[in-house]
Amino acid sequence: MAANFRLFMRQTWALTKKTLLIAVVRNWFSTILRALIIPIAFLVLLLEIQKLILRNGGYGIGSPAPVQSLAHAIPSSKKLVFVQPSGLGSDVARVVEQISSSLEGKQLVYLTDPNDLLTTCRQSLHGDSNCFAAVQFNDSPLSSSGNSKGIWSYTIHADNAENGFNFHVGQHNNDQDTIFLPLQVAIENAMTNSSIIPNTYMFTTITQAQEEINSREQYQQLVISTYSVAFFVSMLSPVYHVVSMITADRESGMTQLIDAMGSSSPARILSYVLAFDVLYLPCWVIFGFRK
């Protein structure tokens, strides 16, 4: 009985070393990729999803601050476009001239056709262009076109990337503070011959504490609905690795040769289990610390 057990252990150890030599020595790169890099990268991605879905905006009530000047807001590399369609009154030209006079050294573009914005401010796939913004005047008190209502009407255009999604109530660096408000204040002051600089502050309907609770609930719902499948997928790599190794041994005739030399099937099967436990042990240890 003892002799049979020692023989079984010797066979198991010899076959385990054989599997380790094939996996670690002959195929070291693919083994490191399968047993270490890909599983750890997948786990890190799963654990970092929470940070990706959490919004970084600070919620609550901010502090008031004056709207920055348009000249300070426009970068030297960006263009400000004025669109003045035909039929508008002379008061539009006066407003544009008054705004332009305070923007010396800036890139100013004047258009008469709104369709030219598509080429003047051509956007990339990321939704940004070389334009700071564009102002399209639609109507004014002195306009005499058939559709004129005798009131000021204008539209501010900006890049699709400037969507205002990122914000922080304590910081005045969002899209509204750096693009829309400076331009709107400059236009309104030019229309009314005023120099008033208003103060603005941001506030949200919920507090930061409530936002953290909402985000935590969303993440928990995500874990419940999808993470079981995701963690199952993370275990497919060792399963596929073991199956491919066993299949390769059978296809090459190694399994038949080992059996013909007197090895037992339990020893061969146990050797695969031990070998792949050793191969994936560093990954599992890192999993434990990372979680």
Report pTM: 0.63
Report yes or no on 60 lying in a domain: no
Domain boundary among 161, 183, 200: 200
Q: Residue 131 sits in which domain range?
A: 65-200
Assigned token pair, 258: 């080992």
**Same domain for 186 and 94:** yes
Query: Can you tell me the distance from the alpha carbon of 230 to that of 223, in angstroms, rounded to the nearest whole number?
Result: 9
What pLDDT, on the 0 to 100 scale, is given for residue 149? 82
What pLDDT, on the 0 to 100 scale, is given for residue 56? 61
What pLDDT, on the 0 to 100 scale, is given for residue 273? 85
Q: Which residues in the chain show pLDDT less than 50?
A: none
**Same domain for 195 and 70:** yes
What's the number of domains the chain is made of? 2
Domain boundary among 147, 177, 200: 200
**Same domain for 107 and 178:** yes
**Same domain for 115 and 40:** no
Do 159 and 129 form a contact (C-beta atoms < 8 A)? yes
Who contacts 118 (Cβ-Cβ below 8 Å, separation ≥6)? Answer: none
Q: Which residue's entry shows tokens 């047993």?
A: 35
**Same domain for 99 and 71:** yes
SS3 235: coil
Domain boundary among 200, 218, 236: 200
What pLDDT, on the 0 to 100 scale, is given for residue 1? 62
Report yes or no on 58 lying in a domain: no
**Same domain for 172 and 71:** yes
What pLDDT, on the 0 to 100 scale, is given for residue 73? 92
**Same domain for 116 and 17:** no
Nearest to 196 by CA among 207, 181, 208: 181
**Same domain for 99 and 27:** no
